[in-house]
Amino acid sequence: MTNALARLLEIAPAPSRPRRKDWGEVECTLAVELPDDYKELIGVYGGSRWDDYLYVLEPDCPNRHYDLVKWAKYHFEDLEDLWEVEKKPAELEAEGSVVIPWATTDNGECLYWLVLPGREPNEWTVMVNEARGPRWEHHSVSCTQFLASALTGELQSDILSSLFPLAAHEFSRLDAV
């Protein structure tokens, strides 16, 4: 268990039923291996909503609106179109660099893994994109470290809502709608 996941367990006790995934099938569909900390996060919490604001995407999420595989497909296509008219963030200038969404917010901000050529999934860091705008932030942490640090206030974002995190944390699983 990562230190970041241990910190999340202190913030919000784990739901009673772990989520099991066929990660081989998910990674085959995405054509990319995913970070171990994310797989561990999903195994414990599943697709989830944190502090009534941040939604962690899950492959084959019971709430179809937060399915990681669908988000990855559509965001890849949308961003490729966007880069034709808008400047890419500097972190994505290297040939073969891409971003893969792993979370979103009530306001429409999107949190991505920064996937750089030659970097292993466990080395991926986090990019945050503002809703309906060109601003991006880069955070040199894993997705689980980002979530834990954002919830404890150790990590600050100029893009995410100033109302996040809440003083008293709230957690819920994303169930079928």
For the chain, the 3-state helix, strand and coil shares in percent, each to the nearest 5, are 35, 20, 45
Q: Which domains does the chain have, with CATH numbers?
A: 3-173 (3.40.1580)
Tens-place pLDDT, residues 133-142? 889 999 999 9
Please confirm whether the linkage preceding 59 is cis (ω < 30° from 0): no
d(CA 177, CA 173): 12
pLDDT value, residue 177: 61
Write out residues in the chain with pLDDT < 70, as ranges: 1, 177
Question: How do residues 106-127 score in pLDDT, each as one tens digit?
Answer: 999 999 999 999 999 999 999 9
Give the global pTM: 0.94
34 burial level (CB within 10 Å; 0-12, 13-18, 19+): buried
